[in-house]
Structure 1
Amino acid sequence: MSHSRTWVKRIVDSPFFKEAMEKSTLLFNQNQVGLLTLIKGALQKVQETAATNNLTVVKLLNRYIVLFSELIKSYVQGSYTKLPLVTLVKITAALLYFVMPFDFIPDFLPFVGFADDLAIVVWVGKAIKEELDEFEKHL
């Protein structure tokens, strides 16, 4: 197992990501307004992160956050419903993890604070790549 895979596995197995998965399931099943609020918060945070960092990784993070947000918004509005619930829960969990200020690596730490957020977002993005590609065709 590679070092980066081990690191991502530690984040996925952390109580922080497990909490995000639990909250994600509740949000998706019971609170569509909360989902839309989450999307707004994630888009705002990624915009702030992009404004203060001119890194290629921030551009990748931005791409996934925007795509995840569009996908959930389309699902809630009923214009795109081709995804299984488990995929939507993973996407929502990644967004929740991203907006959580205290997680595996707290966001207030300079330079490294969003490394775990990036790892989770990219991990989910790669895990559902085919679904994201299909959704992008829909846009």
Structure 2
Amino acid sequence: MKMNRQKILDFFRKSENRATVILKDKSKANTTIKDALGKAVSNKGQLDGVWEKMVLLFAVSKDYVNGNYTEIPKRSIVAILGGLVYFLSPIDVVPDFVPVLGFIDDIFILNLVYRQVVKDLENYKAWKDAQIEYIEDVDGSTAT
């Protein structure tokens, strides 16, 4: 099965458009993130190459939607949520139920999104680390 890069990118653009709409409704955005996380956890073995990146994408999108971290450009959060929407869709360029190949297009898109927003994710990680350090300073304990 040959991957059609342009077709995948076209599907992703549609996912970004859906993400823009979803971001206007905090409840829908949280549900989308939660559903995508559930699907990711259920298919963790097939997502081995992008698992750590996905965890970071879930974290930043959740913190953004909940208003905890808003220092990320709108275009970046739209790309991230668009990637999660694409991942969540069972029928995309390579349907997820296709053995072995089902997640190859999803992995391609998630890696693409990660590369597009890597600087923003580095800023987010620094902010998140500072939050943990602040909590440790306030209560005198060590975060785990």
Name which one, 1 or 2, has greater alpha-carbon Rg.
2
Cα shift readout 1:50-86 (whole Å, capped 9, x = no counterpart): 1xx3x6xx23322222211111111122221111111
Question: Pairwise CA RMSD of aligned residues?
Answer: 1.7
Gaps of 5+ in 2: 129-144
CA contact (8 A) 1:42 1:65 kept: no
Q: 1:102-117 counterparts in 2 under 5 A? A: 102-117=91-106
Counterpart residue number, 1:3: none
Q: Secondary structure at the match of 1:44?
A: helix
Name the residue aligned to 1:11.
8
Tell me the distance in 1 between the aligned counterparts of 2:70 and 2:36. Answer: 21
Q: Percent identity?
A: 29
Aligned residues: 126
Consecutive unaligned residues of structure 1, counting only runs of 5 or more, are 1-5
Distance in 1 (alpha carbons) for counterparts of 2:5 and 2:49: 17
Within 5 A, what are the aligned runs for 1:81-120? 81-120=70-109
Instruction: Write out per-residue CA displacement over residues 18-65 of structure 1, whole angstroms, 9 at most, x where no aligned residue.
Output: 32111111011x211111111111111111111xx3x6xx23322222
**Aligned ranges 1:1-139 → 2 under 5 Å:** 8-12=5-9, 14=10, 16-28=11-23, 30-50=24-44, 53=45, 58-139=47-128
